[in-house]
C-alpha cells in the first residue's frame, strides 16, 4: 500500500507540474498576442496558434480569453512586484545606492515600455468588466504597497503611514505617466533620460534623508 501511495503521489505531482507548465505556456503566448495585437483583436485561435496547442487544450486550462487576461494580471501581482521589490531593495543596500537605484529605475522603464500599454488596455476594459477590474485593482494595490515598503525605512521616522502611501501612489503614477509620454513622444520624452535627470536633481535630498 505504501509503495502504491508513493507512486500515486508521484504521478499526481508530475501531472500537476505539467498542468502548471502548460498554463504558463498559454499565459505567455496570450500575453505576447495581447501585447502585439491588443485584447479585442486577439482570439482564442490566435493564442492557440502562438502556443502551438489545440483549442481543447486551451479550454481545459482556461474557460475564456478573459480568464487568461486575469491570470496574467495575477501573475504580475505575484512575480513582477516581487522582482521589483528585490532589485530596489538590493540597490538601496548598495554603498553607491543612488547610482544603483537610478539603474534599477532605468531597468523598470524598459520593462514598462512593454507592459504599460497592456495596463492601459486592461484599465479601459476594467470599467466594463468587474472580473478584470478586481484583478487590476489588486495589481495596482500591490504595486503601491511594494513602493511604500521600499520607502518606509527612510521615511517612516519622518512621515505618517498615510503620507508614505500617498508618496508611493504618486511615484507609481509618475512612472506610468513617464512611460505613456515615452511611448507617444520617444524623441522628446525619453523616460530613461527623464529618470536620470530626476535622480541627479533629487539625489542630494535622498542623501540628506539617509544621513
What are the E-state strand segments in 15-75?
none
174, 184 contact by CB (below 8 A)? no
- Record: fold of 1-62: Arc Repressor Mutant, subunit A (1.10.10)
Q: Where in the chain is the domain with CATH 1.10.357.10?
A: 65-210
What does the block give as the cell for 130?
A: 468587474
What does the block give as the cell for 79?
A: 512575480
- Record: fold of 65-210: Tetracycline Repressor; domain 2 (1.10.357)
Q: Where in the chain is the domain with CATH 1.10.10.60?
A: 1-62
Q: What is the rounded average pLDDT of the residues 198-202? A: 79
- pLDDT at 2 (0 to 100): 59
Give residue-wise pLDDT tens across range 130-184.
877 888 888 888 888 888 887 787 777 788 999 999 988 998 888 889 999 999 9
What are the backbone dihedrals phi and psi of residue 119, each rounded to the nearest 5 degrees, phi first? -55, -45
Q: What is the rounded average pLDDT of the residues 43-72? A: 93
CB burial string 176-197: b at 16+ within 10 A, e below? bebbbebeeeeeebebbebbbe
Residue 60 above 80 pLDDT? yes
Band of residue 203 on the pLDDT scale cut at 50, 70, 90: low
C-alpha 71/C-alpha 64 separation (Å) is 11
Cα of 164 vs its chain's centroid, Å: 21
Residue 30 above 90 pLDDT? yes
- pLDDT at 208 (0 to 100): 53
Amino acid at each position: 500500500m505504501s509503495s502504491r501511495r508513493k507512486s500515486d503521489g508521484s504521478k499526481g505531482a508530475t501531472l500537476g507540474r505539467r498542468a502548471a507548465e502548460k498554463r504558463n505556456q498559454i499565459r505567455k503566448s496570450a500575453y505576447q498576442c495581447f501585447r502585439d495585437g491588443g485584447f479585442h483583436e486577439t482570439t482564442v485561435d490566435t493564442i492557440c496558434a502562438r502556443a502551438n496547442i489545440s483549442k481543447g487544450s486551451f479550454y481545459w486550462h482556461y474557460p475564456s480569453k478573459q480568464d487568461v487576461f486575469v491570470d496574467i494580471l495575477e501573475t504580475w501581482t505575484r512575480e513582477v512586484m516581487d522582482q521589483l521589490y528585490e532589485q530596489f531593495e538590493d540597490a538601496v543596500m548598495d554603498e553607491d545606492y543612488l547610482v544603483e537605484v537610478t539603474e534599477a529605475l532605468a531597468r523598470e522603464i524598459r520593462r514598462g515600455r512593454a507592459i504599460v500599454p497592456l495596463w492601459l488596455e486592461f484599465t479601459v476594459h476594467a470599467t466594463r468588466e468587474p472580473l478584470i477590474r478586481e484583478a487590476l485593482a489588486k495589481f495596482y494595490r500591490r504595486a503601491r504597497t511594494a513602493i511604500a515598503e521600499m520607502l518606509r525605512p527612510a521615511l517612516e521616522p519622518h512621515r505618517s503611514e498615510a503620507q508614505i502611501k500617498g508618496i508611493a501612489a504618486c511615484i507609481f503614477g509618475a512612472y506610468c505617466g513617464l512611460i505613456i509620454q515615452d511611448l507617444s513622444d520617444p524623441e522628446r520624452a525619453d523616460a530613461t533620460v527623464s529618470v536620470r535627470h530626476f535622480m541627479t536633481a533629487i539625489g542630494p535630498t535622498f542623501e540628506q534623508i539617509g544621513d
